[in-house]
Structure 1
Amino acid sequence: MNFAAGASAPYRTGRIQLLIPALILIVFTVVSGLAPSRAEAQSYSFTAVTVDGNARIPTGTVLSYAGIARGQVVSAAELNDAYQRIVASGLFETVELTPQGNTLVIAVSEYPTINVINFEGNRRIDDEALTAIVQSSSRQVFSPTQAEADAAAISEAYSQQGRLAARVTPRIIRRSDNRVDLVFEVFEGSNTEVERISFVGNTQFSDRRLRQVLESKQAGLLRFLFRSDTFVADRIDFDKQVLQDYYQSRGYVDFRITGVNAELSRERDGYLVTFNIEEGQQFRFGEISTVSSYAGVDAAIFQEALNVRPGVVYSPTVVENSITRMERLGVTEGRDFLRIEPRITRNDRDLTLDVQFELTRGPRIFVERIDIEGNTTTLDRVIRAEFDTVEGDPFNPRAIREAAERIRALGFFADAQVNAREGTSPDQVIVDVDVEETTTGSLSLGGTYSTDDGFGLAVSFQEANFLGRGQVLQVTVTGVSSSQDYVLGFAEPHFLGRDLRFDMGGSYQVTESDYANYDSKKAEYSTGLTFPAGELSTLNLHYTISNTDLSYADDEDVGPLIEAEIQRSDVLESSVGYRYTYDSRISGLNPNAGVLLEFGQDFAGVGGDVEFVQTSARAIAQTKIMNEEVTLRATFNAGHISNIGSSTTLVTDRYLIGGTYMRGFTSDGFGPRQYLADTYDDAIGGMAFATAQFDVEFPLGLPEEYGISGGAFYDIGTAWGLDQTASNILYDDGPLRQVVGLSVFWDTPIGPLRFNWSHALEKETYDKEQTFNLTIRTEF
């Protein structure tokens, strides 16, 4: 057995040694047969090159792409390169290169011409909007590459509306004469909603409050009517900036967003968006000081101009407003090139920020000119009116930025860019304004409803940039069951090129009152000027002329006083007046609180049939508490009419209280009345009134995407006085009325609904109470 094993090994080794040379010989032979030699590589030389199939494209163009000259020796690889160059031109649908002896034949078929472009399956975006998106157009050569790019652009447009599943497929339909119809087949898909928005890291403000700040909203009950509850990536980026501004304006200077997670839900029909934030500590203003390194400038004068005080919650906006105020004072003082640099010192121990405003002299740079481009409709002067700077003035970067914000706020432009560049010399700059026009006209249909007047319809046309002059033209027609209003208004915001608003308008009102025993017709014309009286205040001067005619309502009896006023017929009133307004609710120091103060007088007797002085006042104070989730509001209204001489007023001039001024009562709910049992009951109005309304609004614990919140109110008021002596007059001594009530607010796509349930704590016998009231007003 050992021998057999030992003898077999030399035998197998010998066979392998004999096979190796044979295998090497076979491999060498095969490889040698497959590998072409350089001498055998095919080459061509053509004495002629012809092009077939081209109709629109010149033969010379095809030959230039091919790059093969007559008599040139070319290899097969070079022929392939020529083929690739012709294909890459994008001019031909098919290309063939065929050597025929000494002739190279280039056969091409051109891409067809687009006959028409159609869209199918689109409902959310109309054909006109899609046509503006695509680059392909009729009578243009069809390009598959461009068609695919257009399909991608349409898909992106749907994505911006939250339809991330939208698919667009370009198709062609062959027509005669080498034409095609290009059809984009659109599958819109459903909205990808924002199913939930949550926050991680917030301790000072609840998720509910922060969600109210964001532009994006969670999907709610009426999701099919909302667009803000669809997921759009760009909107999330905007939300991040809004959230940053919200916290910083409330003193959280260290606030930052560490990340935003947007994940598809398990059902893949909605996104779960989570904002990861770090709030930091709230800072307040510490020491406020002003120093000057500008020779001859007294810092104390500028310090006195500041309205910010220590202890106020810090806000960058307050600092910016303070700088603007000081720069304006510098212009008044004749200090050109004044610059204010805020230097902020952080005090972590007491959580304050000391702000030192340093007055310095900036570089001597002037505005050479202001160039405006892109305004095809809007006149240059409308845009220039938003600049406090003109050519030749000292250059102030802050003033230019503020002008840019005002231009954008006009609403006339889809985009407005304002930039400064060096002028013809280093000490001059050119301000470039590049705008993109947008539509400024609107036609709106409005629905109104109240339990007093029932349903109504309002049709309004407004052009905010009339004839490109920045003027406002508005026509409104409103009709409810008891009255019809026709209003025409015109406004020039920069009258005579100044910060002066000019208004003029006319109206005609026909009233067939359900709550009074008379009808009325009133035609009125008014005009006025409004101008700033301070940083937060305005003054309005106006003139009004009107004609009022009272008449009997059908089958109604009226008292002697109304009877006498109907007999006066066509009463002409002519008056001049003023109204002063102070409003800190938006641009004041406190973003959560503010006041509105308004006082005005009208002096009737500048001609006409009546003479009186009418004085009115209004005050509103509002604040938010409990992490800004609860709103407190107090509103005071008062008015008084004083006759001059023997003149007397009409019932339409006097105060009929209820509804807006005093909830829980109808429009003529309380006040002086002329009453005789079973004969007449006329609300005649008082010569004076005063009301106070106190409101609280609060969340009800429902998801905020439903838009439902609650409220409670308490109203107290009275109306009194009469300028005529008459019998059977009640309540002219002004007894108080008091009302309490509950409210439910519902923000819906068809308008803000308000449900009021009220109960009169104190009223008089013949007052007309209204225990429930529903109001709605919207534009759609």
Structure 2
Amino acid sequence: MLSLARHRQTDLNPVPLFRGLQAVLVAFVLLIGFSAYAQEAQTPIPQTQTPQAGNPAPEAVQAPTVIKSIQVSGNQRVEANTVASYLLFAPGDPYSESRIDTSLKTLYATGLFADVAIDPRDGNVLIQVIENPIINRVIFEGNKSLKTDKITDEIEAEPRSIFTRSDIQEDVQRIIELYRQSGRFAATVSPKVVQQPQNRVDLIFEIAEGPVTGVKRINFIGNAEYADRELRKQIVTAESRWYKFFSSNDNYDPGRLEYDREQLRTYYTNRGFADFRVVSAVAELTPDQEDFYITFTMDEGEEYRWGDISVETQLDELDPEFLERLIRIQTGEIYNASQVETAIDTLNFAAGTTGYAFVDIQPDIRRNRDTKTVDLVFNVVEGPRVYIERIDIVGNTTTLDYVIRREMELVEGDAFNRILLDRSRNRVRALRFFEEVEITETQGSSPDRAVVEVKVKEQPTGELSFSAGFSSADAFLVDMSITQRNLRGRGQLLRFVIRASSNRREIDLRFTEPRFLGRNLAAGVQLFDVTIDFLEEAGFRQSRTGGQLSLAFPLTENTSLSTRYSLRQEDIEFPQQNQCAALNATSQAGGARPQDLQLLSLCEQSGGRISSIVGYTFSWDRRNDPITPTGGFDVNFSQDVAGVGGDVKYLRTDVRANAYKGLYKNVIASATLAGGYIRGWGGDDVTINDRYFKGNFDFRGYDNAGIGPRLVQVDGETGQVTQRLNALGGNAFGLASAEVSFPVGVPNLLGSLFLEAGTVGLLDDSFKSDFVSASNTPGVEVGDACGAVTDDGNDATFVTCQRSIDDLSIRAMLGASIFWESPFGPIRFDFTKPLRQFDYDDRKSFQFTTRTRF
């Protein structure tokens, strides 16, 4: 606005009252006028401004009433028409200060301009802009632990994009967050800009990564029922150790810490502590910024048991008493929160079979703090009819969408069901591809439509591990494995394993497609090369090289069936193998001696044979936890038929059942029944490398192949065993065990008491022996039947017999075990005392094993 400075003039008209005082009055008025003039002279006078080139003219005194034209200046890359398209006015529109102001903000919000000025100029609007520069290059300096590609995938800045300082600051925060997720909390990022011609800039991120920030210690406060060692197993975050250089969970991640809180809550509420809560989870950085101390403060509350369980419903077709019988929650059992979801699934299924597809089951959990019981009422009502309009999946940077969608139990168009959504979330979590899985729903295009969003956060799925250990049975153990559980983001499993010990060497390569042909069918292929050394126990070494194809699919929620086909070449080696040619020639001539029959049977199995085997396994799993069960059972029944081609013919049947029961807090009882039987068919007997050899950890208290049929040397006169020879293995075995595990009151130590009983036997008659192996008695020769010598009353002075003992005698063993979670890995000690044994058994009263990963 222009304004003119105005000077006030003072009129001097003195009244001629007293002429004698005229001079005095004139002087007084002059003095007043001079003071007023001096005061006005000190007031700034607005100066008339002359417009300069490049600057908008000052606003006129009168605002324009109509916009006549629009002119754009200062633009280099952006077209004038593009600038005008963001304006809220056009030529011919009435002038509006609010529209001018909004247009100014709109131009700034585009991010295209660093400065914008709008000058009306009597209706001829001039818009002067200064454009933001264009990013020429994005350069990273100092990033060693994170690849440049990983950083560029997370930030917004890229070549040929517009440079704005606010966006660059956001990118700086994203880079810092990436480093924090990788365990580097001391990382700093400094952005720098290098000006280039044509309004371009090079953007440089100078990165100081700092040291890796590990987890020095994980502490728990308020845990009276469970030891720190047990709780550390339940969370994902792990303490840093020097040998965990391939681990990615031993650094602090806030997102992972929230997941750990949920894991602790689940662990406690599934074991009776209904009031459990994590009061706080605090991570404190050490002064050197190298490690974190993580502290979980918890309130365990009291242990609860189930009280009254009931079902209430007003639906005519549903019988509450029938529904109550379907619920597997028993009054008096320890409270388990996961059983509620299982019961709801059961009730939903039962309601669905009667035609109620939109049933809504609302559990009403009532805690009785006085009696420490939890009453549970299931309210079954008919819910609103809502259908799924769309399923959106976000956050999966590696895993493909269809891998997640195939775990969803609902698809577009299905009736909305909260239970099925929760079950879908558990199925996606069970893939173990994601740190976090969250499923939310919002209203769709209409009230009866819902949009489901599945939000996931990826986690590493590859693993490279080395293990080394020592045991009393295998001496040394070395294990190297490379595993990728989510190959190419398709949910496929690829694993390569090399194992070696003093009596076993194995190479195993396997690949599994969990959804073969897009169906709920897991298909796998396996290649292997295994060598097992039984030279000390049974006098032979066996090798197997081949492959296996498998298909597995669920039958029901708790049962599954897996089928397989194996083709392998098998061979055995033994020290007397150079005698086989002569023995075979003698046998063909009909002159085989009894003492050579065992060696001859080994010779017949040497040279390599092809085994073609078809089999299946039926599994029934009702355990409450697949890792540390405290209730339920599991059963596995399998059969294999060899002889569909190949050189070997047999039928093998195996069964194993386990049951678990939580007695009190960490005291868990378990029982096992196992058995197996193999028999040849088509005139074939079962060869030594296909028989059952039990002992060591299969039957504690015995060495490898320590029980079962065995060659022994006996005194021909007394029948006493004088020497234990080779184990022969058996065609059948049976095993029963009962065990109770418990804490011993020392951190990182668990104990157990066990009772085991079992047997191995039923050797084919063609592999049994009974002959004189040495004699100094007239009329008794090597090769005679021992029974003839001992039964005819001869006065034998020196007779030694070789016999195969196979009587299915029951062995029983009482023992105790100690499990120690040492800093170098788990160590297990077993101490046993026989309740029933035989002289020819290969006993072992103490054994231990340890293994560590690094």
TM-score by length of 2: 0.69
**Is the Cα contact below 8 Å between 1:171 and 1:185 reproduced in 2?**
no
Structure 2: state its 5+ residue gaps: 1-31, 57-70, 87-103, 117-125, 581-595, 715-721, 771-801
Residues 441-474 of structure 1 deviation map (CA, whole Å, 9 limit, x = unaligned): 7474544545526344545455646794x55555
Change (3 A) 1:609 1:267: closer
Please state how far the C-alpha of 1:564 moved relative to its aligned partner: 1.7
Aligned to 1:12: none
| Structure 1 residues 624 and 33: CA distance shift in structure 2, 3 A | farther
- CA displacement at 1:340 relative to structure 2: 2.4
Out of 760, 764, 769, the position equivalent to 1:726 is 769
Q: 1:472 to 1:429 in 2, by over 3 A?
A: farther
Q: In 2 relative to 1, CA 460–51 (structure 1 residues): closer, same or farther, beyond 3 Å?
A: same
Which residue, out of 821, 827, 849, partners 1:754? 827
Change in 2 beyond 3 A, CA 1:580/1:124: same
Identify the match of residue 618 of structure 2 among 573, 580, 584.
580
Corresponding position: 1:736 with 2:811:
yes
Conservation of the 8 A alpha-carbon contact between 1:367 and 1:430: yes
Residue of structure 1 aligned with 2:267, choices 227, 234, 246: 246
After superposition, the C-alpha distances for 1:684-714 in whole angstroms (9 at most, x for unaligned) are: 2122334447474646735xxxxx5354565
Given candidates 531, 541, 548, the residue that maps to 2:570 is 548
Contact in 2 for aligned 1:440/1:465 (Cα 8 Å) = no
Asked if the contact 2:493/2:511 (under 8 Å) is kept, the reply is yes
Aligned to 1:11: none
The CA distance in 2 between the partners of 1:59 and 1:368, in whole Å, is: 43
Distance 2:438 2:280 in 1: 30
Q: 1:360 to 1:418 in 2, by over 3 A?
A: same
1:689 matched to 2:729:
no
Q: How does 1:123-138 map to 2 (within 5 A)?
A: 123-138=144-159
Aligned to 2:638: 600
- Provide, for residues 725-771 of structure 1, a one-character-per-residue CA deviation record: whole Å limited to 9, x for no partner: 224345533463747565454466xx844354656756745737595
CA distance in 2 between counterparts of 1:111 and 1:273 reads 45
Q: Deviations over 1:556-593 (max 9, x none)?
A: 889742542432454444555443333333359x9633
Match of 1:671 in 2: 708
Give the drift of 1:412.
Answer: 5.6
Contact kept, 8 Å, 1:474 with 1:488, in 2: the verdict is yes
Aligned: 1:300 with 2:321: yes
Given residue 620 of structure 1, which amino acid in structure 2 is its aligned partner? N
Matched pairs, number:
723
**Hey, what's the Cα distance between the residues in 2 that align with 1:128 and 1:765?**
66
Matched residue SS, 1:182: strand
Tell whether the 8 Å contact from 2:679 to 2:685 is kept in structure 1 after alignment: no
Contact 1:485 1:509 in 2 (8 A): yes
Pick from 699, 704, 729: which aligns with 1:662? Answer: 699
Question: Secondary structure at the residue paired with 2:676?
Answer: strand
Does 1:118 pair with 2:140?
Answer: yes
Q: Give 1:205-604 correspondences, 5 Å limit.
A: 205=226, 209-210=230-231, 212-216=233-237, 228=249, 230-259=251-280, 275-367=296-388, 383-389=404-410, 393-411=414-432, 418-420=439-441, 426=447, 428-432=448-452, 442=462, 444=464, 446-447=466-467, 449-451=469-471, 452=474, 454-460=476-482, 462=484, 464=486, 468=490, 472=493, 476=497, 478=499, 484-487=505-508, 489-494=510-515, 499-503=520-524, 505-511=526-532, 515=536, 517-527=539-549, 529-532=551-554, 535-552=557-574, 560-568=597-605, 569-587=607-625, 592-604=630-642
CA contact 2:612–2:642 (8 Å) conserved in 1? yes
Shift of 1:649: 0.7
Q: CA 1:180 to 1:237, structure 2 compared with 1: closer, same or farther past 3 Å?
A: same
Percent identity of equivalent pairs: 27
Alignment of 1:132-151 (within 5 A): 132-140=153-161, 143-151=164-172
**Contact (CA 8 Å) 1:366, 1:394: kept in 2 or not?**
yes
Verify the 8 A CA contact 2:214 2:252 in the aligned structure 1. yes
CA RMSD of aligned residues (A): 5.3
Structure 1 residue aligned with 2:851, among 772, 776, 779? 776
Shift of 1:318: 1.4
Match of 1:44, SS state, is coil
User: 1:371 offset after TM fit, Å?
Assistant: 6.7
Rounded Cα–Cα distance in structure 2 between residues aligned with 1:296 and 1:581:
34
The structure-2 alpha-carbon separation of the partners of 1:396 and 1:268, relative to structure 1 and needing over 3 Å to count, comes to closer
Whether the aligned pair in 1 keeps the contact of 2:385 and 2:415 (CA below 8 Å) is: yes
2:831 and 2:847 in contact (8 A); partners too: yes
- Measure the CA separation in 1 of the matches of 2:688 and 2:245: 48
Any idea what SS the aligned residue of 1:549 has? strand
How far off its partner does 1:531 sit? 4.4
Which stretch of the first structure deviates more once superposed, 548-557 or 645-654?
Answer: 548-557
What is the one-letter code of the residue matched to 1:579? T
Amino acid at match of 1:283: Y
Tell me, which stretches of 5 or more residues in structure 1 are unaligned? Answer: 1-23, 66-82, 96-103, 703-707
**Structure 1 position 657, deviation (Å):** 1.8
**Structure 1's 175 and 680: CA in aligned 2 closer, same or farther, altered over 3 A?**
farther
Q: CA–CA distance in 2 between the matches of 1:699 and 1:557?
A: 56
In 2, distance between residues paired with 1:467 and 1:232? 23
Shift of 1:297: 2.7
Secondary structure of the 1:616 match is strand
For residues 91 and 554 of structure 1, the distance between their equivalents in structure 2, rounded to whole angstroms, comes to 88
Q: Which has the larger radius of gyration?
A: 2
For each residue in 1:93-150, what CA deviation from the matched residue of structure 2 results, as whole angstroms up to 9, or x when unmatched?
A: 999xxxxxxxx9x999985744341231x44434333333333334556555444433
Distance 1:561 1:445, change over 3 A: farther
Contact 1:512 1:553 in 2 (8 A): no
Q: Is the 8 A contact 2:769 2:804 kept in 1?
A: no
Contact conserved, 2:215 with 2:293, CA < 8 A, in 1? Answer: no
Q: What does residue 709 of structure 1 align with? A: 749
What SS does structure 2 have at the residue aligned with 1:323?
A: helix
Question: How much has 1:363 moved relative to structure 2?
Answer: 3.0
| Partner SS for 2:688 | coil
Cα displacement (A) at 1:722: 1.4
CA change 1:399–1:234 in 2 (3 A) is: closer
Letter in 1 for 2:449: V
Q: Is the contact between residue 259 and residue 435 of structure 2 (CA under 8 Å) also seen in structure 1?
A: no
Moved more, 149-158 or 443-452: 443-452
Q: Tell me if 1:647 matches 2:691.
A: no
